[in-house]
Amino acid sequence: MAAGALSAGPAGAQPATAQSAPTRPAPGRPEPAGLLRLQVNGRPVTLAVDARSSLLDVLREQLHLTGAKKGCDHGQCGACTVHLDGQRVAACLTLAARLEGRAVLTIEGLSAEGALHPMQQAFIDHDALQCGYCTPGQIMAAVACVQEGNATSRERIREYMSGNLCRCGAYVGIVAAIEDAAAKMGRG
């Protein structure tokens, strides 16, 4: 094949043309920024975001809300758990540009008027936060566990919380904290 010629690819496939190829910025250049409007911890926020930014990166780097942690960056550890429209999500896998008009709740917005949320207090009371790295994600997942009606037994709590990992092994305290807070949240 001559240099610069296009390969036909798989049998029957048509070669790419300049008109059908997607346009992309030059290598090393960021994707165009778009304006994003959403609610974060009950407050309206408007900011420019790179089209490739994750919600986690926007929270940490642009809004300076560092409670959600970057653990695996693959949605497997739960350290970045936040609530999106009342449902738990892995912020590292959530594309920020698709959140127009949505509501995000982070650990920083969980307490009200200076008082800890019942789940935050239960984590303290039951020593469920050893090194603390996973704690914000654990607490956000635990609140969702209770709100979604999954705190009905220790087995169900363990199953629901299985997507949130704790290297310190505080699982016994975490389950106890969820049971305690569920009763105080009116869902136990």
User: pLDDT, tens digit, for every residue of 168-182?
Assistant: 999 999 999 999 999
More confident: 78 or 25: 78
Average pLDDT, stretch 124-153? 96
Give the DSSP H or E segment for 143. Answer: helix 135-147
Average pLDDT, stretch 26-43? 78
* Lowest-confidence region among 17-26, 110-119, 138-147: 17-26
Secondary structure percentages of the chain, helix, strand, coil, to 5 = 35, 15, 50
- The predicted pLDDT at position 24 comes to 45
Task: Record the tokens describing residue 97, joined without a space.
Answer: 């540009």
Residue 73 has pLDDT above 90, yes or no: yes
Residues 6+ apart with CB under 8 A from 80: 56, 68, 69, 70, 71, 90, 91, 92, 137
Pairing outcome for strands 103-105 and 81-84? antiparallel
User: pLDDT, tens digit, for every residue of 115-136?
Assistant: 999 999 999 999 999 899 999 9
- With H, G, I as helix, E, B as strand and everything else as coil, classify residue 90: strand
Residue 167 has pLDDT above 50, yes or no: yes
pTM of the shown model:
0.81
